[in-house]
Structure 1
Amino acid sequence: MSTPEVKECLNDLVATQGLFYTKLHQAHWFIRGHHFFDLHVKLEEYYDEITEHMDATAERLLQIGGQPYSTLQEFIDHSSIKETLENKNIPEEPFIKAIVLDFEILRDDLKNAIDLIDESNDDVTVDMLIAQKAFVDQTIWMLWSYAGKNALGK
């Protein structure tokens, strides 16, 4: 059930979630435009939800004998999402697109983690990650719709 690959996969997911939390918080602070009030509130909801996911993932990792990353440097070093300083003062539409692209990276990481962990017959972790992926899938769809695009961003 608890292989080194599973632990590494979950740890990388913790790092990605941790860095994404920071990027969503940055977006919450710096978003500008006609939809500021709506997006400011929505982005706070997103980073709160991602924080809950990160906490659940880290706690599950501890339950199976792992040690979750917990420093900013570990998050930066092991995240699939990259820190981008240029996201501070960009217009609303590119800002939303950048957020969606990060959600898509997280979605792909969750899909890969589900597949890997399913092979090790850890149903508890798989169920947790499926619930997280459902949130991410719905968020991607909603953000693309908000931007006037279809579910694939077109």
Structure 2
Amino acid sequence: MDAKEISLNEKEVKPIVDLLNDYLANYHVHYQKLRGCHWNIKGQNFFTLHVKFEELYTEAQTTIDEIAERVLTLGKPPHSRFEDYVRESTIKEIDTIGMKDLAMVDAILDDMAQLIAMERELLLATDEADDDGTNDMVNRFMQFKEKTTWMLRSFAGKK
């Protein structure tokens, strides 16, 4: 399958696929960070954050699958090696062992800010290419992260 089969211009879709693969790489590092936070959370916020981090990594896992499937829908292969994810991601790995609970929240908020910035870039690119399918998908992901950012900021007592 290629982009022509879903009435998209192959040339206009290539930058979108590249952005989606970068987005996929960042999402994988973010996902693993969420898992590390879930596994290593300690302290008085344990019960709240343990559940929240699990909710977020479960959502991230579903999102990762949708991103990869969208790349395939556009007729290209998604990146699939962790080595590539770590190399290409602007979101960096962290060691969550011994990390304080609110520092974990801050790390996740930083990731979400980076992912939202990538989503905004994707929305512009998909709009230019008339790629409504990718645009709708990314917009849905961004709305989830915007709401989650608000909730985590409120939890952490941030403005």
TM-score band, normalised by shorter chain: over 0.9
1:96 to 86, 100, 105: 105
Q: Distance in 2 between matches of 1:44 and 1:84?
A: 17
Q: What SS class does the counterpart of residue 53 from structure 1 fall into?
A: helix
Instruction: After TM superposition, list the pairs within 5 Å mapping 1:62-73 onto structure 2.
Output: 62-73=72-83
Of the structure 1 ranges 136-145 and 1-10, higher mean CA displacement relative to structure 2 is found in: 1-10
- The equivalent of 1:120 in structure 2 is 129
- Are 1:4 and 2:25 matched, yes or no? no
Residue 36 (structure 2) aligned to one of 7, 12, 26: 26
Residue ranges of structure 2 left out of the alignment (5+ in a row)? 1-7
When the two structures are aligned, how many residues end up with a matched partner? 149
Identity %: 36
Offset at residue 52 of structure 1 (A): 0.8
- Match for 2:138 among 125, 129, 133? 129
Cα RMSD, aligned residues only: 1.1
Residue type of the partner of 1:78? E
1:56 aligns to what? 66
Shift of 1:58: 0.5
SS of the residue corresponding to residue 65 of structure 1 reads: coil
TM (normalized to structure 2)?
A: 0.90
Counterpart check, 1:16 vs 2:36: no
Q: Which residue of 1 aligns with 2:94?
A: 84
Could you tell me how far apart the structure 2 residues matched to 1:66 and 1:79 are?
Answer: 19
Secondary structure class of the residue paired with 1:24:
helix
What TM-score do the two structures reach when normalised by structure 1? 0.92
> Matched residues in 2 for 1:17 and 1:93: separation?
21
